[in-house]
């Protein structure tokens, strides 16, 4: 299909620039993108007859990574070595 | 703001029109359903979710790297990334690392041991819900089927209406006939009684006339017999008797 209707995973690297130029960065556009991403994640891993631990564990792992990233400046002070 | 004014004035203006025109205008300005009803029937949920390896990394990542690096590619990537993060201390090892390690161990042990049981329990709950809903649906369908059959039976019964009415008509005709015949009989009896009465009356009259006449004649005859005639008749009778006795003696 046309470029702006394909999901991000099916866009090739060479077309990424044009794809980014077609998507809307207005608040409604961003909100719509977030909503679509969340609903597709839910539909794939959570709203399933036999889901496993994968659905929530991925969300928790993402949360762990994000919070580590947000507190990185605090962690940097507790390094073991000065020179790497 | 002007639009708000217009929107507020519109109902009052509509009500000012005569009722049929107002109804027609209201129906024309209301927005109709333009989209299809897409909410029902809801498609069923997929059986299994997306494949995830080790509970954290989706299978698509492994498939993405397979053509270029084979099976061990992602694992090498993971190991390399981990060593890089540790050696450059982008990931700092601290007390939280120990806590995370303990928690993860416990969680993984719990999932491996009790996962299947919990999944079976949840599946059973789902099955029960589904079974009850299905039972309700089947029951509703069954009741409707029986209702349809009853209706068909009633329709078949309606065909017999004509027979019923014929029988009723026959009954009524019979009743009328018997009533008519009874009344005919009473009429006959009454007429016969009256005629018998007349006949008896006539007989009685004749009888009475006869009796009366006989009596009158006898009375007159007895009256007419004078004593003179009586003596003469007795003397004649004696003479006759003597003559008779003479002839009788002669015969003997």
Helical spans, DSSP H, in chain B? 2-16, 19-29, 59-69, 73-87, 95-159, 161-224, 227-251
Please give the residue range of the domain that contains residue B232: 185-243
Percent of the residues in chain B that have a pLDDT greater than 90, as a whole number = 63
SS3 A1: coil
Q: Judge whether residue B196 has pLDDT over 60.
A: yes
Question: How far apart (Å, rounded) are the C-alpha atoms in residues A54 and B107?
Answer: 13
pLDDT category of residue A17 using cuts at 50, 70 and 90? confident
* Record: contact A52-B92, CB cut-off 8 A: no
The DSSP letter of residue A11 is S
Question: How far apart (Å, rounded) are the C-alpha atoms in residues B233 and B227?
Answer: 10
- Cβ atoms within 10 Å, residue B111: 15
Minimal Cβ distance to B89: which of A9, A50, A81 = A81
* Record: contact A68-B91, CB cut-off 8 A: yes
pLDDT average, residue stretch B169-191? 97
**Which of A6-15, B15-24, B61-70 comes out lowest in average pLDDT?**
B15-24
Structural contact between residues A47 and B45, judged by C-beta atoms closer than 8 angstroms: yes
pLDDT category of residue B20 using cuts at 50, 70 and 90? low
* Record: contact A48-B49, CB cut-off 8 A: yes
pLDDT category of residue A19 using cuts at 50, 70 and 90? confident
Buried b (16+ CB within 10 A) or exposed e, B80-98: eeeeeeeeebebbeeeeee
Paired sense of beta strands B52-53 and B57-58, if any: antiparallel
pLDDT average, residue stretch B142-152? 97
Structural contact between residues B51 and B58, judged by C-beta atoms closer than 8 angstroms: yes
> What does the pLDDT read at residue B27?
54
- Residue B61's closest CA among A16, A47, A58? A58
Q: Judge whether residue B55 has pLDDT over 90.
A: no
Report the number of distinct structural domains present in chain B: 1
> What does the pLDDT read at residue B16?
57
> What does the pLDDT read at residue B191?
97
> What does the pLDDT read at residue A10?
73
Q: Report if pTM > 0.95.
A: no
The token pair that represents B133 in the structure block? 């809903």
Q: Is residue B197 part of a domain?
A: yes
Whether the upstream peptide bond of residue B41 has omega within 30° of 0, thus cis, is yes
Percent of the residues in chain A that have a pLDDT greater than 70, as a whole number = 93
pLDDT category of residue B72 using cuts at 50, 70 and 90? very high
Interface contacts (A, B; CB < 8 Å): 62
Minimal Cβ distance to B46: which of A48, A55, A81 = A48
pLDDT category of residue B12 using cuts at 50, 70 and 90? low
pLDDT average, residue stretch A31-47? 90
Residues of A in contact with B119 (CB under 8 A): 50, 52
- Name the residue in chain B with its Cα closest to that of A62: B56
Better pLDDT: B142 or B52 = B142
Structural contact between residues A9 and B8, judged by C-beta atoms closer than 8 angstroms: no
Residues of B in contact with A7 (CB under 8 A): none
SS3 A75: helix
Minimal Cβ distance to A75: which of B49, B92, B115 = B92
SS3 B250: helix
Structural contact between residues A64 and B73, judged by C-beta atoms closer than 8 angstroms: no
Minimal Cβ distance to A48: which of B45, B55, B123 = B45
pLDDT average, residue stretch B48-68? 87
Q: Judge whether residue B13 has pLDDT over 70.
A: no
The token pair that represents A1 in the structure block? 């299909």
> What does the pLDDT read at residue A8?
72
């Amino acid at each position: 299909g046309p470029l702006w209707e394909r999901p991000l995973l099916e866009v090739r690297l060479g077309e990424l620039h044009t794809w980014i130029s077609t998507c809307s960065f207005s608040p409604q556009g961003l909100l719509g993108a977030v909503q679509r991403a969340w609903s597709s994640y839910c539909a794939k891993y959570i709203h399933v007859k036999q889901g496993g631990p994968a659905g929530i564990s991925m969300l928790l792992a993402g949360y762990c990574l994000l919070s580590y990233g947000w507190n990185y400046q605090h962690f940097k002070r507790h390094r073991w070595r000065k020179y790497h | 703001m002007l639009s708000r004014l217009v929107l507020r004035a519109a109902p009052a203006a509509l009500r000012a029109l005569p009722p049929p025109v107002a109804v027609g205008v209201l129906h024309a300005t209301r927005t109709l359903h333009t989209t299809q009803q897409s909410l029902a029937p809801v498609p069923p949920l997929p059986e299994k979710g997306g494949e995830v390896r080790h509970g954290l990394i989706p299978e698509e990542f492994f498939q993405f790297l397979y053509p270029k690096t084979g099976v061990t590619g992602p694992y090498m990537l993971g190991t390399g990334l981990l060593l890089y993060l540790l050696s450059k201390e982008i990931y700092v090892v601290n007390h939280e690392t120990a806590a995370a390690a303990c928690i993860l161990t416990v969680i993984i042990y719990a999932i491996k041991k009790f996962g299947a049981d919990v999944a079976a329990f949840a599946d059973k709950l789902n099955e029960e819900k589904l079974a009850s809903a299905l039972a309700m649906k089947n029951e509703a369908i069954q009741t409707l089927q029986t209702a349809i059959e009853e209706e068909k039976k009633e329709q078949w019964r309606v065909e017999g209406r004509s027979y019923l009415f014929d029988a009723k008509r026959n009954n009524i005709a019979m009743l009328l006939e018997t009533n008519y015949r009874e009344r005919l009989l009473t009429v006959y009896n009454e007429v016969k009684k009256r005629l018998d009465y007349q006949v008896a009356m006539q007989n009685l009259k004749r009888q009475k006339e006869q009796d009366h006449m006989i009596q009158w004649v006898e009375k007159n005859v007895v009256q007419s017999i004078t004593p003179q005639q009586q003596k003469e008749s007795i003397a004649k009778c004696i003479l006759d008797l003597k003559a008779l006795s003479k002839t009788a003696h002669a015969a003997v």
